[in-house]
Amino acid sequence: MNIAITGIGLTSGLGDGAQAHREKMAAGEHALRPLANLFGDDSPYAGVNAAWIEKREIMLSRKWAPASMLSLHVAKQAVADAGLSSEDLAHTAVIVGSSRGNAAGWVSQWPERRPFKLMAASNSMHGELASVVSIELGIRGPWQVISSGCAASLDAMGMAWMMIKQGMVKRAIVIGVELPLIPEVLQAYADTGVLATDMVNDPYSPHTSGLFPAEAGAAVVLEAVDQDASNSRGPKTLMSGYWCNSDADSPIGMPSDGSGLRDCLKQALAGLEDEPAIAAICPHASGTLLHAKAELAALKAALPVEPTISLHPLKPYTGHSVGANGVLDCAILAHYLQDRELPPNLEGITCPGQPFSLQSNALSAQGSTVLKIAVGMGGHNSIVSLRSPSIK
């Protein structure tokens, strides 16, 4: 059984929809700006570079919480892209990943929102991120919300992939959402020492200082398909595997040698022996110096020296959207891969050196494998493998 990404939806500081993201990336633009533009010059975070969704009206509802509305928005995009009917949706799974769920608008008042008191309990629950999609789209299949830190939505993809593999459902809508730009969350990052203190997101620079927080929502439709992973909208990217483990080491960092991620990568490589060769990796590349060193140590220990693998860190474009980042990156990757291309890297970021390159590798006519890595605070490592469509 093959499992394909048949629909894509995404919204971030780069824009609304996959094509908007592609156009900004092709132009070499990123979404990071001083938070003074959102919070005002009097904010203690005015000088922090971050990325936020410009179309704030899509998150305003008296009934549903802001992150729930974002979840619904990107789910509708992905459903439309996949061309699913109401009958198709009836028994679809909805799996959401988010680090802090509906904290925005509950812990802090959301600007311009006048909520219904009757919905207060629902609005405070992480589960509403999935229930809103189930209710509004008439989906009666299983729904679930996962909160494994920065790996949350990549784990959501893994859970959905396993459900389809086991025959529980034929398809799933997988969603990642995060609205971390509220004072309480930003203060937590600052107190922990992981909030960036410079203005340039260059995750492999020896001067990288931390993460650049970002709002984002993304969704993909995963479906069981025949060998031909195409529909009326053309060839589709396949999801070919999922692996995860834990470091059992630190609540906020990684082992300096990246041993947990290294072992997870070795599991992935063993599971991909019958798949096309790995052409590229989209790393976690959070922005902290500790993480950069540990992730690169893990990659170098687990991967062969040759051939050269191209790295495609996407956070320099979008910022770090925490639990949403896994699906966001996979949505961007899938959009490029279905055209048998890899996303470009933002000009000027530092290359970590051999055996890696920031120049995109050519993809094989028979299909190539791309790995997406996510690392959650608390020591959780997740990997998803994607495969570009073959040329027939």
- What pLDDT was estimated at residue 354? 87
Tell me the H-state helices in the chain.
18-26, 36-39, 66-82, 86-89, 120-123, 128-137, 152-165, 183-192, 259-271, 289-302, 315-318, 325-337
Q: At residue 105, does pLDDT exceed 60?
A: yes
Q: Are residues 180 and 62 in the same domain?
A: yes
Q: Are residues 127 and 204 in the same domain?
A: yes
Q: Are residues 189 and 327 in the same domain?
A: no
Q: Are residues 158 and 290 in the same domain?
A: no
Please check whether residue 231 lies inside any domain of the structure. Answer: no
Q: Are residues 295 and 264 in the same domain?
A: yes
Which of 204, 225, 246 terminates a domain? The answer is 225
Q: At residue 13, does pLDDT exceed 70?
A: yes
Q: Are residues 173 and 83 in the same domain?
A: yes
Q: Are residues 339 and 260 in the same domain?
A: yes
Least trusted range by pLDDT, from 169-183, 219-233, 253-267, 275-289: 219-233
pLDDT band with cut points at 50, 70 and 90 for residue 234: confident
N-term to C-term CA, the chain? 19
8 A C-beta contact, residue 211 and residue 188 = no
Residue range 232-239: average pLDDT? 85
Residue range 194-214: average pLDDT? 94
- What pLDDT was estimated at residue 262? 98
Q: Are residues 116 and 257 in the same domain?
A: no
Q: What is the CATH number of the domain that holds 70?
A: 3.40.47.10
Q: At residue 227, does pLDDT exceed 80?
A: no
User: Rounded mean pLDDT of the chain?
Assistant: 96
Q: How far apart are the C-alpha atoms of 109 and 111, rounded to whole Å?
A: 6
What are the respective helix, strand and coil percentages of the chain, to the nearest 5? 35, 25, 45
Q: At residue 371, does pLDDT exceed 90?
A: yes
Please check whether residue 16 lies inside any domain of the structure. Answer: yes
Please check whether residue 232 lies inside any domain of the structure. Answer: no
Please check whether residue 132 lies inside any domain of the structure. Answer: yes
Which of 192, 225, 258 terminates a domain? The answer is 225
Task: Look up residue 355 and give its two tokens.
Answer: 């055996």
- What pLDDT was estimated at residue 198? 87
- What pLDDT was estimated at residue 232? 58
Q: How far apart are the C-alpha atoms of 342 and 334, rounded to whole Å?
A: 9
> Tens of pLDDT along 25-52?
999 999 999 999 999 999 999 999 999 9
- What pLDDT was estimated at residue 392? 73
- What pLDDT was estimated at residue 42? 96
> Tens of pLDDT along 121-162?
999 999 999 999 999 999 999 999 999 999 999 999 999 999
Provide the domain limits for residue 321: 237-387
Q: At residue 95, does pLDDT exceed 80?
A: yes
Q: Are residues 213 and 241 in the same domain?
A: no
Q: Are residues 102 and 17 in the same domain?
A: yes
Q: Are residues 140 and 250 in the same domain?
A: no
Q: Work out how many domains the chain is built from and give that number.
A: 2
Q: Are residues 90 and 210 in the same domain?
A: yes
Q: At residue 307, does pLDDT exceed 90?
A: no
Which of 225, 256, 282 terminates a domain? The answer is 225
Please check whether residue 392 lies inside any domain of the structure. Answer: no
- What pLDDT was estimated at residue 363? 95
Residues 6+ apart with CB under 8 A from 198: 207, 208, 209
Q: At residue 231, does pLDDT exceed 60?
A: no
Q: What is the pTM of this model?
A: 0.97
Q: At residue 204, does pLDDT exceed 90?
A: yes
pLDDT band with cut points at 50, 70 and 90 for residue 184: very high
Q: What is the distance of C-alpha 148 from the center of its chain?
A: 13
Long-range contacts of 263-268 (CB under 8 A, 24+ apart): 264/381, 264/382, 264/383, 265/298, 265/299, 265/302, 265/303, 265/371, 265/373, 265/383, 266/302, 267/243, 268/241, 268/243, 268/371, 268/383, 268/385
